[in-house]
Structure 1
């Protein structure tokens, strides 16, 4: 049997999301973020990660969830994603990070196709962890908009 895929589970509002562990470089405590003028609402600004400028997106706003203040549990997940110009390092601000885990099943359910106006384009699939639904994010697609903003390093 092949090794099960591992995911980092993230909390945003009351929802549970997961990112493939292969995309995660590191998880940082919240830190000051340098704002960028006229940036879209979900682009919080830039942070320095070992000498590299990394753009930070608010996962809440990127997913269309209302912004919320930082708490002691807020984390920045530094990810390596595939942008149109190649590899891109980006930070994702999440309300909390739970654990690195495997899901209850290797098979993900496809996102529901409810309406033509909503497509689960940023959802890789729906899994379960201990009986709870977990939305597995398609990070490359979710963050492609950021790459188009000219932030590719």
Structure 2
């Protein structure tokens, strides 16, 4: 039997999201972030991870949610993404991280087709975990605009 895909589940506001575990390198407690001048509002700045500068993006702002203060649950998920010019390491600030898990069903539902203006392009699919909807993020599409910014940093 094939192994089922595993996901890191994370919370932003009251919503439950998931990232494929193979893209997650590590999960860090919140730490000071060095701001970058004239960076887009979603790009919080840079952190140092074992001598390497990693840009950090606020998932709340990327998703169009209002900003929130850090809490003791706030985490930075360090991701390894496939970029056009090779791999990209990027930090993603989330309100909280829950667990590494499999979803209730290994098949994801496609994003709903609601209107042409919202195509759900940054959603890999919709799953369920313990009866709750889980939005599985397409991290490359969601964070693609930051690939150029991280190369410039």
TM-score normalized with structure 2 length: 0.97
Greater mean alpha carbon deviation, residues 3-12 or residues 139-148:
139-148
Q: Give the secondary-structure state (helix, strand or coil) at the position aligned to 1:11.
A: strand
Q: Note the residue ranges of structure 2 that are not aligned, 5 or more in a row.
A: none
- Between the two proteins, the alignment pairs up a number of residues equal to 153
Deviation at 1:148, TM superposition (A): 2.8
Deviation at 1:151, TM superposition (A): 2.8
Distance 1:151 1:56 in 2: 13
Q: Give the secondary-structure state (helix, strand or coil) at the position aligned to 1:34.
A: coil
Greater mean alpha carbon deviation, residues 56-65 or residues 140-149:
140-149
- String of CA shifts for 1:85-139, please: whole Å, max 9, x gaps: 1100000000000000000000000001101111111100000000000000001
Q: Note the residue ranges of structure 1 that are not aligned, 5 or more in a row.
A: none
Q: Give the secondary-structure state (helix, strand or coil) at the position aligned to 1:147.
A: helix
Per the alignment, residue 17 of structure 1 pairs with 17
Per the alignment, residue 113 of structure 1 pairs with 113
Following superposition, which runs of at least 4 residues in structure 1 exceed 3 angstroms of deviation? none
Per the alignment, residue 55 of structure 1 pairs with 55
Q: Give the secondary-structure state (helix, strand or coil) at the position aligned to 1:9.
A: strand
Deviation at 1:152, TM superposition (A): 6.5
Q: How does 1:1-150 map to 2 (within 5 A)?
A: 1-150=1-150
TM-score normalized with structure 1 length: 0.97
Task: Describe the shift of the 1:26–1:152 C-alpha distance in structure 2 as closer, same or farther (beyond 3 A).
Answer: farther
Distance 2:17 2:65 in 1: 13
Distance 1:81 1:8 in 2: 15
Matched-pair contact (CA < 8 Å) for 1:83–1:143:
no
